[in-house]
Amino acid sequence: MAADRVVKLLERQSFTYEIRDCERDFASTEDSMKLLGIPAEKIAKTLVFAAPIGANVIILSGDAKIDAVKYEKQFKVKRVVLDEEDLMDCTGCRPGAVSPIALPGKRAKVYMDISIKRFMEDYVYTSGGMGNSAVGITGRDLYEVTGCRQWIDICSGWKREEESR
């Protein structure tokens, strides 16, 4: 089970984190905000797209949206969402419950959008591998525990630090 893989990896590598289980599955970013009692920007969404080999797993802030032009420029391919079977194959998770932590195999390549950089020392909440479970972890530790390949700039709509001053 995906949630078991997530907890085992976090414990084995001694990261500081918290697990928050809710009474029902998260239906959307807005629903996650209400159930967890946190603002959108502290939700670390995980989106998965087809890649020439495997999948691109993108972690972005809940207040950000992927910009199709930036995505295509970064990856040199059109953005194609995986179907449920391919998503399960690449991540071990069903739609709406994809955790970027403890992904099985090497087919999924993890990238983090710079919208998460605002929270290097603060907790962000990502899926715990089940529809009603969230893992709170610092942006810095999330980057490390996911085996992230690099920071990328492919989102728009979020409030950059310099804009909020």
Q: What is the pLDDT along the chain (165 residues), one digit of tens a residue?
A: 568 889 899 989 888 999 999 999 998 888 999 999 999 999 999 999 999 988 999 999 999 999 999 999 999 999 999 999 999 888 888 888 899 999 987 789 999 999 999 999 999 999 998 889 999 999 999 999 999 999 999 999 998 755 443
Token pair of 41, please?
């920007």
- For the chain, give every domain's residue range: 2-155
CATH topology of domain 2-155: YbaK protein (3.90.960)
